[in-house]
Amino acid sequence: MKKQTLYLIINAVIMVLIGVIVMISIKSFVPQDPEDKLFNQMVDLNNQTSIENASGTSYAIVDYRATAVDNSGKEVGTVYNIKIRNSFNLSTSDRGYGYIELLVGLKDGLVSLEIVSLEQSSSYINGIQKYIYEFYDGVPYLSVENIPDYNAATEEDTAAGSTASTSTTSIRSLVWKAIQMHYGLEVADPLAEYLGEDYVLEVDDSFTATAHVTAKQNLVSSTEVPNGYIYTVTGEGDYVGYDGVETGSITILVIFNSDDEIVSIYVREESYGHTYSFHTNNNVDYLATYTGVSIDDLTTTINGNDDLKTGATYSKTLLDELLGFIVSEVA
């Protein structure tokens, strides 16, 4: 064998070895997996603890918590896994439905997100990615609750805006939930805003539930609404979802004072079975216009609001029906 040929073979072997060493180095020291990217270094996830279980065809859960450690075993931060399954069908997904899985990284009071799986409509998947990396790139944990609503739909697909913003709203809610768990933040009672601190409710045993007005609670003690009461009203109606018009339920709590006037109408996010989006806020604002309306004037007020627009016509129609049930079924 000629020396020149031998040198070429030796050089080729050396180059291959160098390439292998470089690849091993990259895999060993350059962050590649989502958990590595959270902390910009290679980590392992230890002490994984299950938190919530998924159930049904639609859910949003904090799945588990784990401790991120470096190659020496030193703790780097804490990771929470969050998962969202959408109720709509998604033909472009291997799962057959919309699905989001993210890792929440907490370190030194800062929050970061990384994507594990993002199976959404192509019309707004880029918008969701932008939302995640723009708003959750090492932000102080207390600022997460105030991250604004975000429409992830493209400008070319404005019709998808309502559905597109649902996922980003759910992401923010779950990240904040993980933060509350991690830092032991007190979960505020939203009803205290309307009823005052240390209010006391009791179930009205004399009330007979109807098809839509399912419960009545009396305010035994309240600094804001003494001798008031609350009706729980629920019903189903159409809304515009990913696959067009779908059906979902909404439950509202209607707070009355002792003069049978509406003090407030509270909508729990988890009980709002329609698309949760910007237009939902418009509907919440719409419900606020009923403050001060008496049961006797409720039907007239509902009829007078026919021309009001909230951007979510189907959902507004159902909300009007729910308020009407108070008159038709129990008043």
**187-243 pLDDT tens trace:** 678 888 889 988 999 999 899 999 999 999 999 999 899 999 999 999 988 877 655
pLDDT recorded at residue 268: 76
- pLDDT band, very low/low/confident/very high, at 138 (cuts 50, 70, 90): very high
Q: Residues 81, 236: contact at Cβ < 8 Å? A: no
At 13, list the tokens. Answer: 């072997």
Phi-psi region of 138 (alpha: psi -120 to 50; beta: other; left: phi over 0): left
- pLDDT band, very low/low/confident/very high, at 161 (cuts 50, 70, 90): very low
The chain-wide mean pLDDT, for the chain, equals: 82
- pLDDT band, very low/low/confident/very high, at 159 (cuts 50, 70, 90): very low
Bigger pLDDT: 313 vs 164 = 313
What's the pLDDT tens digit per position in 1-24? 555 666 666 666 677 677 655 555
Residue 183 Cα distances to 112, 142, 177, 179, angstroms: 15, 10, 10, 6
pLDDT recorded at residue 32: 79
- pLDDT band, very low/low/confident/very high, at 273 (cuts 50, 70, 90): confident
Q: Residues 329, 212: contact at Cβ < 8 Å? A: yes
At 312, list the tokens. Answer: 């979510």
Least confident of 20-34, 53-67, 162-176: 20-34
Q: Residues 98, 121: contact at Cβ < 8 Å? A: yes
What's the pLDDT tens digit per position in 303-312? 988 766 665 6
What mean pLDDT comes out for the span 77-99?
77
Give the whole-angstrom CA distance, residue 78 versus residue 200: 38
Q: What is the DSSP letter of 43?
A: -
pLDDT recorded at residue 92: 61
Give the whole-angstrom CA distance, residue 126 versus residue 153: 8
On the CB side of 85, CA atoms within 13 Å amount to 14
Q: Residues 320, 302: contact at Cβ < 8 Å? A: yes
At 329, list the tokens. Answer: 């079924």
pLDDT recorded at residue 125: 83
pLDDT recorded at residue 1: 53
- Indicate if the pLDDT at residue 279 is higher than 60: no
